[in-house]
Structure 1
Amino acid sequence: MKRIAFYGSSLLSSYWNGAATYYRGIVRALDALGWDVTFHEPDVWDRAAHRDIDPPDWARVRVWEGSLEGLAAEVTRAADADVVIVASGIGYEDERVIDGAFSAARPDAVRVFWDVDAPATLAMLRTDADHPLHRWLERIDMVLTYGGGDAVVRAYRTLGARECVPIYNALDADIHHPAPTEEKFFSDLSFLANRLPDREARVAEFFLRPAALRPQARFLLGGSGWDQGALPDNVTALGHVGTRDHNAFNCSPRMVLNVARDSMAETGFSPATRVFEAAGAGACLVTDAWEGVETFLTPGREVLVARDGQDVADLISDPTVDAASIGAAALARVRAEHLYTHRAREVDALFARAAAETAA
């Protein structure tokens, strides 16, 4: 069996870890293709206390102590794998994990840097000439990214990467699907995202401004870090919403909002995990405008696109919007074209080609 050592933030917890469902979808689909995946995650940021899932049967999970000693011991396990993946945003001494895992990998192993926040990583690399990734880009086999399109590919190639391929978010239809509605999630518009500095301004425009413009409408805000006291009276902050509740959260409101972070919106071609999770639940999705949205969903038929907060407010109050039909069309589209099985086949082919080139 083909073995992967995958070093990332967390497979078991989505707490302050937006990449969790992305990792789960990719790893589960790779397992179905015959890969034996061991996911190595540090015990940091209180994630272990907020697990969403138990260790699954489609991956081995090793939770290592968040210390230099724990890190040093864990990276040596990369030597057992045919493919060694180090993701960005691990959350503990990322630079040491990059150096340690890639150094421990066998000479014939495929080495991959998987960037789940390419705009942030690229910005860091431009300002930090001593970052170890500079030394590794020309030596490892490829960079895979959470998204970013041609702009990110060009940037990584300019920095020396042999190959850079975006592997976009997708849907795991066994996990995210239509579900019964729940009264606690009823609203006119719901939004789920942790509070982050480069998301603040766009959330204010696309979520809080519509709430102020439509005081009679009900708005729900899920995610960590939001202060109820600073929100309009018609906005309810739910706090962290575990993945077990995501389907009901997406199915219960009339519309579900997606707001890209500043860096993602500027780069384009980086649909968030939430886009596919909401569409996979049959939700009527409203998204802020970003380059490439039509690559994944057809505006006006499978998704509603808003240029600003006024557009969002107008959509909420427009009686001609058939939210159920838009949600059904989005569900059909993502199940046909944007499943994690589609993404995993692409990854599998990339690994096979890289292994053949190494052997040659």
Structure 2
Amino acid sequence: MKIVVFGLTVSSSWGNGHATLWRGLIRALGAQGHQLTFVERDQPWYAENRDLHDLPGGRLILYRDWSDVLARGRELLDADALVVTSYCPDARAAEALIHERGRGRTIFYDLDTPVTLGRLAAGEPVDYLPEDGLGRFDLVLSYTGGPALQALRDRLGARRTAPLYGHVDPAAHRPVPPRDLFRGDLSYLGTYAADRQPTLDQLFVEPATRAPGQRFVLGGSSYPADFPWQPNIWFMNHVAPPDHPAFFCSSRLTVNVTRADMAAMGWCPSGRLFEAAACGVPIVSDDWDGLDRFFTPGEEILLAGGAQDTLDALALSDAELARIAAAARARVLAEHSSEHRARELVGLIESADDAQAAAA
């Protein structure tokens, strides 16, 4: 199968969660014999922080102006599936192009569904959506399942929806030796987000305040100067994807904090959950509807509603934490790898073909 994606970025993991997901999915699709081309606008801020130049298992096309894409139209549009993603900077132009000239199934993949629906509810513009909604697409995929799928049909006219959840590439995220630079009792990895901060305060900052003798390590970009730093919090600015396994594996326990819109809607697992689990690191996470679909609470993941829950998790024995981590890693390898998601994607495209044929 030949797939072409018009997306935000795969070449830079700076300040976005899309890149790592696409890298794993593209590698898996390539291993399964499929060809994926990722079409990305060469944005200055990503160019300055580019951490991938060759795309294993696929092909990367960077363009400066949309006219460069139009000049390669015949080459790009000769595909079995044509995908436009949320936050693609030229989404509307790409949507018009694939519907007017593409031969394959047209797909919209919203990797940010809670944000999309939240902005619509607030009356805010969403410039990566077509002005007439999603009704022209053969298939609308969502990083978020559950009620979000019905909302995409009701609010945006999507005719056929399906979840394509987050995942992890076990070749990129696996147990590795700890590194002194990242060593700590509790870690957190994530870009700063104001809506995530209250929960991060409860599950990470307050425990650091109450456990001054333990070492807390935070990695991520865009943190403001007024972040409530504590003397026992060590900060790593933008931990690059190749360093994620060492970052996770250097702490006894890692915290997952879900963005407010994602937590409120539920059924939206962060890629960090799968990454940490694949690295064999125990996770303590905020709770949200649908989380038990991905990990069994108490057996494969620890849940926290406040600082004391985090401190209680830190007080568990090394043997208990290792048992939880091993169970989570086994679950991820069995159900949430990039290979599994790649097969799901191909199956969804094929079923869209079948539905189109039946309708004809």
> What TM-score, normalized to structure 2?
0.91
Alignment pair present for 1:16 and 2:11: no
- Structure 2 counterpart of 1:211, one-letter code: A
Q: Deviations over 1:209-268 (max 9, x none)?
A: 211121221111101012466311111110000011011011110101100000111011
Alignment pair present for 1:44 and 2:39: no
**Equivalent residue for 2:159, pick from 142, 158, 162:** 162
1:230-245 paired onto structure 2 within 5 Å: 230=227, 231-245=229-243
**Which residue in 1 is equivalent to 2:137?**
140
1:285 and 1:340 map into 2 onto residues whose CA distance is: 20
Q: Deviations over 1:75-119 (max 9, x none)?
A: 6754222211000022x344334334443423xx10000001101
- Structure 2 counterpart of 1:88, one-letter code: S
**Equivalent residue for 1:214, pick from 208, 211, 214:** 211
Instruction: Give yes or no for contact 2:190–2:220 (8 Å, CA) kept in 1.
Output: yes
**Which residue in 1 is equivalent to 2:323?**
325
> Once the 2 structures are TM-superposed, how far is the Cα of residue 18 of structure 1 from its aligned partner?
1.1
1:1-360 paired onto structure 2 within 5 Å: 2-65=1-64, 67=65, 69-70=67-68, 73=71, 78-90=76-88, 92-106=89-103, 109-126=104-121, 127=123, 132-147=129-144, 149-158=145-154, 159-227=156-224, 230=227, 231-319=229-317, 322-359=320-357, 360=360
- Structure 2 counterpart of 1:325, one-letter code: R
Gaps of 5+ in 2: none
1:80 and 1:346 map into 2 onto residues whose CA distance is: 22
- Seen in structure 2, the aligned counterparts of structure 1 residues 228 and 321 have a Cα distance that, compared at 3 Å, is farther
Q: Deviations over 1:303-328 (max 9, x none)?
A: 11111222112322344872222111
2:56 and 2:259 map into 1 onto residues whose CA distance is: 33
- Seen in structure 2, the aligned counterparts of structure 1 residues 239 and 76 have a Cα distance that, compared at 3 Å, is farther
Deviates more, 1:244-253 or 1:97-106: 97-106
Gaps of 5+ in 1: none
Q: Deviations over 1:164-190 (max 9, x none)?
A: 111111221111111111011111110
Instruction: Give yes or no for contact 1:118–1:146 (8 Å, CA) kept in 2.
Output: yes
> Once the 2 structures are TM-superposed, how far is the Cα of residue 269 of structure 1 from its aligned partner?
1.1
> Once the 2 structures are TM-superposed, how far is the Cα of residue 69 of structure 1 from its aligned partner?
4.2
> What TM-score, normalized to structure 1?
0.91
- Structure 1 counterpart of 2:21, one-letter code: Y
Deviates more, 1:203-212 or 1:312-321: 312-321
> Once the 2 structures are TM-superposed, how far is the Cα of residue 197 of structure 1 from its aligned partner?
2.5
- Structure 1 counterpart of 2:266, one-letter code: G
Other structure's SS at 1:331 match: helix
Instruction: Give yes or no for contact 2:119–2:126 (8 Å, CA) kept in 1.
Output: no
- Structure 2 counterpart of 1:232, one-letter code: Q
1:259 and 1:319 map into 2 onto residues whose CA distance is: 23
- Seen in structure 2, the aligned counterparts of structure 1 residues 298 and 349 have a Cα distance that, compared at 3 Å, is same
1:21 and 1:343 map into 2 onto residues whose CA distance is: 14
Q: Deviations over 1:101-144 (max 9, x none)?
A: 443423xx100000011011122334258965352511111111
Instruction: Give yes or no for contact 1:259–1:287 (8 Å, CA) kept in 2.
Output: yes
Instruction: Give yes or no for contact 2:284–2:304 (8 Å, CA) kept in 1.
Output: yes
| Residues paired across the two proteins, number | 354
Q: Deviations over 1:283-337 (max 9, x none)?
A: 0111111112211111112111111222112322344872222111111111122
Instruction: Give yes or no for contact 2:113–2:148 (8 Å, CA) kept in 1.
Output: yes
2:45 and 2:312 map into 1 onto residues whose CA distance is: 40
Instruction: Give yes or no for contact 1:78–1:101 (8 Å, CA) kept in 2.
Output: no
2:221 and 2:287 map into 1 onto residues whose CA distance is: 24
2:225 and 2:287 map into 1 onto residues whose CA distance is: 27
Other structure's SS at 1:50 match: coil
Other structure's SS at 2:184 match: coil
1:45 and 1:330 map into 2 onto residues whose CA distance is: 38
Deviates more, 1:178-187 or 1:317-326: 317-326
Instruction: Give yes or no for contact 1:76–1:101 (8 Å, CA) kept in 2.
Output: no
